[in-house]
Amino acid sequence: MDNLAPAISPPPGLGDSKPTHQLVLDWVHEVQALTQPENVFWCDGSEKENTYLLGEAQKQGIIEKLNEEKVPGSYLHRSNPNDVARVEQFTLICTPTKEEAGPTNHWADPAETYTKLNGLLKGAMRGRTMFVVPYIMGPPDSPLAKVGFEITDSIYVVLSMRIMTRMGAVAVKRLEQSENGEWNRGTHSLLDVNPERRLICHFPQDNAIVSVGSGYGGNVLLSKKCLALRIGSYLARKQGWLAEHMLILGVESPAGKKHYVAAAFPSACGKTNFAMLIPPAHFEGWKITTVGDDIAWMKIGDDGRLYAVNPENGYFGVVPGTSYKSNPNAMKSIEHDTLYTNVALTDDRNVWWEGKDGEPPAHAIDWRGNDWTPASKEKAAHPNSRFAVPMQNNPVLDPNVENGEGVPISAIIFGGRRSDTMPLVFQARDWEHGVYIGATMGSETTAAATGAVGKVRRDPMAMLPFCGYNMGDYFKHWLKTGPRLKNPPAIFHVNWFRKGADGKFMWPGFGDNMRVLKWMIDRFEGGGGATESPIGFVPRPEDLDTADLAGMTKEKLEDLLSVKPEEWKKELETQQEFFDTLGADMPAELTAQHDKLAARFAQ
Ligand code: GTP
Ligand code: SPV
Ligand code: MN
């Protein structure tokens, strides 16, 4: 077997910041004895260490330096073409009973899985360097913050973790000061990057993750989907908070009144874009700021409101479609100090992807490393190519992003990618109805996970691939949270992706989503108009501010906002099928919500 990750030999003073925490040392020794690396590199997160590792990664051909004038401080990584997205079928929840993982997860027996993984990991790091990466999720002083350690044999993972988390000495310090001593142990090895030996395993009871056989973001940056969502959601239920696949944004009116909202859209359905949106000219004086673009950890504050922190330190965002037209703030964020994965490389060592501003280059090297021209049938960038950037690059980063207590949430938005059925926006009647709307969310699948693209599936609260325990219990946790809130957020559902008879998106989306956000603010501030439809409160065309919106007619808007009983008949059936798969775990409140909705349509 080729060694995909040859050992490096750091000079004295690098890689030696071994912590004193005995349980960490014991665990590292155990993994070391099992995987037998040539050496161990203890990461401290320093600039000096990063510079050294960038150099070593370049020498090994893991990353390429991009044009320093065009994209300063930036690098390109190409993953193995067999390893470009999350692999849901190989993502396992290993709880003592299958019932705890529930019917929506792939369950495996913990003892059997550990045995299998130990077999795969035995000697797996021979001739390699084993990196130990300490990190914190959440602002270091936040009561919600969690410490993790990731062991990995991939320099790309270390470089990415430094962007995506608060990594190094700060985490070791936090663990030393921690009262409960809670920390997550994450073990990752590339093995030989073979899909047949690829497993992403979660052991919620042990606060442990083992990931083998992949080098792709969501499978290997164990801080992100694995800890912050799957293990996170398990801990959240036990500890009385929420770990959600949500962006968090701030929206400030010209008069200076500010709200924060959180929104759950499935993978590649618009979170990063919504979190950074620039309002259209008509909304002069309105300002959007980003707290987070993918994950929200939320707890109930002393005042009975819901407060959210972004556990991450960076954005691991979808590249294709990102342009100055669709998302200028993302473009400015990724113009420097960015680690790109699977985009195309131009002849002047710049990056290119489908949907970038300007003409395609006459020649480029595609994401697989092959020659590419505009005549090529293949895409230049992989549809799930990604950027990793520190959040500090974002020109509209919210000033409260480091606030450990979090930001107060005025509204929660659920939304899927639906060609039909779902109107542009509607509002839930109350918390329980809102939980029902989240629980029945559907969305067309995207390139963020391997498998078919464009098929509608139920993706409750955008957590189908990320809930670390039984989905029925997750719904119950949500239902219980509402009554604990004195001042619960309003709940909405949006769909930026409804299509007309011509097969085109009916809504312009992106910056114009401000118009929908404005209606929501009007609603929860007590002003905005709506009609009461069977599914909830829907704006009438005149309730949405569509001034200066080119090509938008009243008829089109009516269509976009329409609730069509024949489409909903099918929707209710599919929702029922999903509820049936959850069987006895399904909370009665949500079944009742479904029946009430069916009855309203029957009236
Ligand atoms: P993950 O990082 O996978 O969780 O994705 P995300 O939810 O952050 O999605 P992102 O904002 O990266 O958008 C994914 C894709 O949807 C990109 O190709 C965007 O261009 C496209 N998109 C985002 N917002 C809109 C919108 O309002 N309308 C339309 N039509 N497309 C959008
Ligand atoms: C997603 O798929 O929802 C992502 C990208 O945010 S990954 O980190 O790869 O899961
Ligand atoms: Mn995501």
| pLDDT band per the 50, 70, 90 thresholds, residue 180 | confident
User: Is 222 a residue whose pLDDT tops 90?
Assistant: yes
Residues found in the chain? 603
Q: Which amino acid residue places its CA nearest to atom 3 of ligand 2?
A: 267
Q: How far is CA 338 from CA 86, 214, 315, 357, 452, in A?
A: 21, 21, 10, 18, 29
Pocket of ligand 1 (CB under 6 A): 265, 267-273, 293-294, 317-318, 320-321, 326, 448, 496-497, 505, 509-510, 513
Residue 240 CB neighbour total at 10 angstroms: 12
- CA-based nearest residue to 330, from 311, 349, 317: 317
Which of 318, 450, 461 for a ligand 1 pocket mutation test, highest count of atoms within 8 Å of Cβ? Answer: 318
The rounded distance, in Å, linking the Cα atoms of 343 and 384 is 9
CA–centroid distance, 218 to ligand 2, in Å, is: 5
How do residues 306-333 score in pLDDT, each as one tens digit? 999 999 999 999 999 999 999 999 999 9
Tell me if 547 sits within 8 A of 451, measured CB to CB. no
User: Is 1 a residue whose pLDDT tops 70?
Assistant: no
CA–centroid distance, 3 to ligand 2, in Å, is: 27
Burial class (CB in 10 A: 0-12, 13-18, 19+), 218: buried
- What is the rounded average pLDDT for all residues in the chain? 97
- pLDDT at position 108, please? 98
Query: Catalytic residues, which ones?
Result: 269
- CA-based nearest residue to 142, from 250, 24, 19, 301: 301
Identity of the amino acid at 278: I
CA torsion through residues 394, 397, 402, 407, sign? negative
507 lines ligand 2 (CB under 6 A): no
Tell me if 399 sits within 8 A of 356, measured CB to CB. no
- pLDDT at position 254, please? 98
Q: For residue 413, what are its two tokens?
A: 């938005």
How do residues 115-139 score in pLDDT, each as one tens digit? 999 999 999 999 999 999 999 999 9
- CA-based nearest residue to 210, from 295, 135, 133, 120: 120
- Token pair 């809130």: residue: 485
Q: For residue 452, what are its two tokens?
A: 């078919």
CA–centroid distance, 246 to ligand 2, in Å, is: 12
The rounded distance, in Å, linking the Cα atoms of 558 and 565 is 15
230 lines ligand 2 (CB under 6 A): no
Q: Mean per-residue pLDDT for 420-436?
A: 98
User: Is 65 a residue whose pLDDT tops 80?
Assistant: yes
Residue 287 CB neighbour total at 10 angstroms: 15
Model pTM?
Answer: 0.98
Number of H helices, E strands in the chain: 16, 31
| pLDDT band per the 50, 70, 90 thresholds, residue 379 | very high
Q: Which amino acid residue places its CA nearest to atom 18 of ligand 1?
A: 321
Instruction: State the virtual CA torsion across 288, 292, 296, 300 in degrees, nearest 10.
Output: -50
Identity of the amino acid at 519: W
Is the pLDDT higher at 499 or at 178? 499
**Tally of CA atoms within 13 A in the half-sphere of 567 that contains its CB:** 12
The rounded distance, in Å, linking the Cα atoms of 409 and 532 is 24
Three-class secondary structure assignment of 429-446: CCHHHHHHHHHCCEEECC
With a CB cutoff of 8 Å and minimum separation 6, the contacts of 115 are: none
Report the greatest alpha carbon distance in the chain.
77
- pLDDT at position 512, please? 98
Secondary structure element (H or E) that encloses residue 332, with its range: helix 328-333
